Amino acid sequence: MGVIIKYSYLLPRKIYRFFDHYVARLITLYKFKAFDVSFSSFATNGVPVIDIYGGARLRIGAGFKMNNGIRFNQIGRQQRCFFIANNGGQIVIGDNVGISSTAFHCNRSIRIGNNVRIGGNTVIYDTDFHSLNVESRVGGKENIADVLMKEVVIGNNVFIGAHCTILKGVTIGENSIVGAGAVVAKSIPPNEIWAGNPVRFIKKL
């Protein structure tokens, strides 16, 4: 009886995941075309959120892989991947990059190198979103003219752990590792491990 119950649950689940994967790829391909995304090859579990407007662009290299939503890379806090760019912002992702439940919000430039792995629920922002000037921020209509924006660059072979926050102006040097849950508000040199909130140096590789 237990075996029957087990397989009556597992078999439909496998079938559902198969069709979910196939349909997700078609929907994602449709979104890529609709938002004029430049891409080479990709694999996706689930469907990402894409909102590219105001002259912005999203470019993705070969061998790109992503997980979206609660059924994939089940480490907690699942969400879909977000690719949000506006005001001419450029999101450029290199070859052989893997992400899970990652959010990119770009007003200027976010550049990801080759062979990068980004853990689940990480967010990358190249903007403060709001002015640091209190008068601009609390007025009747918020003045965003002086909102700070700076390019984010993640070098080749970088590994970023789950639940990290990467903020504007940060460069992460190639081969470096960022520990899970880190808040990265300053640049990290190549070939080092950093972790913590705020992020701090741990050791050289």
Domain with 149 in it: what CATH number?
2.160.10.10
Lowest mean pLDDT of 27-31, 76-80, 191-195, name the range: 76-80
Q: Structural domain of residue 26, as residue ranges?
A: 2-199
Is 80 exceeded by the pLDDT of residue 109?
A: yes
Q: Is 105 considered catalytic here?
A: no
Tell me whether residue 195 is in a domain.
yes
The rounded distance, in Å, linking the Cα atoms of 110 and 84 is 11
Lowest mean pLDDT of 14-23, 67-76, 94-103, name the range: 14-23
Q: How many domains is the chain built from?
A: 1
Tell me whether residue 205 is in a domain.
no
46-64: pLDDT as tens digits: 899 999 999 999 999 999 9
The rounded distance, in Å, linking the Cα atoms of 7 and 28 is 31
pLDDT at 108: 96
Tell me whether residue 21 is in a domain.
yes
Tell me whether residue 143 is in a domain.
yes
Tell me whether residue 42 is in a domain.
yes
Tell me whether residue 204 is in a domain.
no
Give mean pLDDT, residues 88-115: 97
Tell me whether residue 185 is in a domain.
yes
Is 90 exceeded by the pLDDT of residue 176?
A: yes
Bond preceding residue 190 cis, omega within 30 of 0:
no
pLDDT at 77: 73
Tell me whether residue 71 is in a domain.
yes
Which carries the bigger pLDDT value, residue 21 or residue 97? 97
pLDDT at 11: 67
What is the pTM for the complete model shown? Answer: 0.88
The pLDDT confidence band at residue 39, using thresholds 50, 70 and 90, is: very high
* Annotated active-site residue in 21, 105, 130, 163: 130
